Chain A
Amino acid sequence: DVKVTQSSRYLVKRTGEKVFLECVQDMDHENMFWYRQDPGLGLRLIYFSYDVKMKEKGDIPEGYSVSREKKERFSLILESASTNQTSMYLCASGSGGRSYNEQFFGPGTRLTVL
């Protein structure tokens, strides 16, 4: 079974803090993705990566950055957390390069920014 793990299930941070969300997958997938889920908005793509040290912007990259130093790990960074970044953050991975099929999701991190 594919396993995608996220470092925290729940996180509370203060406005202006730098926040790191970590994601690890154990299936040697090339592709990794970060989404956020908000009520009434579905899932929206923040950033994705097709290979180590590669990254591409998704639909809502503003206020975020990412790091992929190792194939199994993809980090999402909030440089200066703001209250509008309170959300559920979901990491996903998939194989197949740029012709991937399904993505496998982690359990999510619920981030609250006060």
Chain B
Amino acid sequence: DQQVKQNSPSLSVQEGRISILNCDYTNSMFDYFLWYKKYPAEGPTFLISISSIKDKNEDGRFTVFLNKSAKHLSLHIVPSQPGDSAVYFCAARGYSGGGADGLTFGKGTHLIIQP
């Protein structure tokens, strides 16, 4: 049962336009959400995060929005640049017992920025 879903395996966006990557989750115990970016043959790199008590977090060209009632978050990249072409993973932190568990990841969305 997939608790973090990224329903678009790939997304193609023109350079300079806005990229919007979506993520849905089912577990209401998730309290912290993260986006990671991954290039081939490298480990994921942290991009941006948001606590469940907030609805928006912005860092330069990257903004993450959280709609808790819909259990939905999105990552906006504007303007999109060629170096943004990568696989983006949505991840969520859950709690059990005495504290946080490991992250639960979505399957990823491959973002392709077209020149």
Contacts and interface: CB of A to CB of B under 8 A. Distances in A.
Interface of B: 4, 6, 9, 32, 34, 36, 41-46, 49, 89, 91, 93, 98-108
Interface residues of chain A: helix, strand, loop or mixed (majority): mixed
Contacts of A33: 102-103
Contacts, number: 65
Contacts of B36: 105
B42 to A, nearest CB: 6
B42 A45 contact: no
A48 B102 contact: yes
Contacts of B43: 4, 90, 92, 105-108
A33 B93 CA distance: 13
Interface residues of A, number: 29
Contact of A42 (B42, B102, B105): B105
A100 interface: yes
A84 interface: no
